[in-house]
Amino acid sequence: MNTSDHKEFESFSEAMTEEIAADLAKGVIPGSVVALCGELGAGKTVFARGFARGLGITETVSSPTFTLMQEYKVPGRERLRWFYHLDLYRIEDSKAAMVFGVDEYLSNPDAVLLVEWAERIEDILPSGTLRVEIFHAGENRRKVRISKIP
């Protein structure tokens, strides 16, 4: 279902979720922020893995829950050099995220930032952030809604 303010996709497997993410990644520009929202086990890390693959990253992508952030070199893109994968599961709010220095990653013109548990810092996300919401829709089924934060 497509509307003027968002797009929705239905996924029946992890592979389909990764494909949705990879397709989105192919169209991002340097400086983009992607905010992943969804409950525990919704598929945020699966989406992040597909997104990284869409950027051409071949390294194994896992959730940086304990390290908070992983950075990856993006191959073959002239202006897009870095992919930052941030997981805020252990961060309570934007004030705590600022102590970590998340603001530096929100404004890097050579990178794309993907944030898991982004609803915790929604008040500091820049205008134009791509908000990706993942919902359980049954066993192995997910609904993925993509919109822009105004």
Sequence letter at residue 68:
L
Please tell me the predicted confidence (pLDDT) of residue 82.
Answer: 96
Q: Where are the domains of the chain?
A: 6-136
Please tell me the predicted confidence (pLDDT) of residue 29.
Answer: 94
Please tell me the predicted confidence (pLDDT) of residue 4.
Answer: 55
Please tell me the predicted confidence (pLDDT) of residue 135.
Answer: 96
pTM: 0.91
Question: Cα(133)–Cα(74) distance, rounded to whole angstroms?
Answer: 24
Residue tagged 């609904």 (tokens): 143
Tokens linked to 46:
């699966």
56 conformational bin, left if phi > 0, alpha if psi -120 to 50, beta if neither? left
Tokens linked to 122:
């929604």
Q: How many residues are given for the chain?
A: 150
Q: What is the pLDDT along the chain (150 residues), one digit of tens a residue?
A: 344 589 999 999 999 999 999 999 999 999 999 999 999 989 999 999 999 999 999 998 888 777 789 999 999 888 999 999 999 998 989 999 999 889 889 989 999 999 999 999 999 999 999 999 999 998 889 999 999 998
Question: Cα(116)–Cα(133) distance, rounded to whole angstroms?
Answer: 10
Q: Is 73 helix (H, G, I), strand (E, B) or coil?
A: strand
Please tell me the predicted confidence (pLDDT) of residue 63.
Answer: 80
Question: Cα(89)–Cα(76) distance, rounded to whole angstroms?
Answer: 31
| CATH code for the structural domain at 6-136 | 3.40.50.300
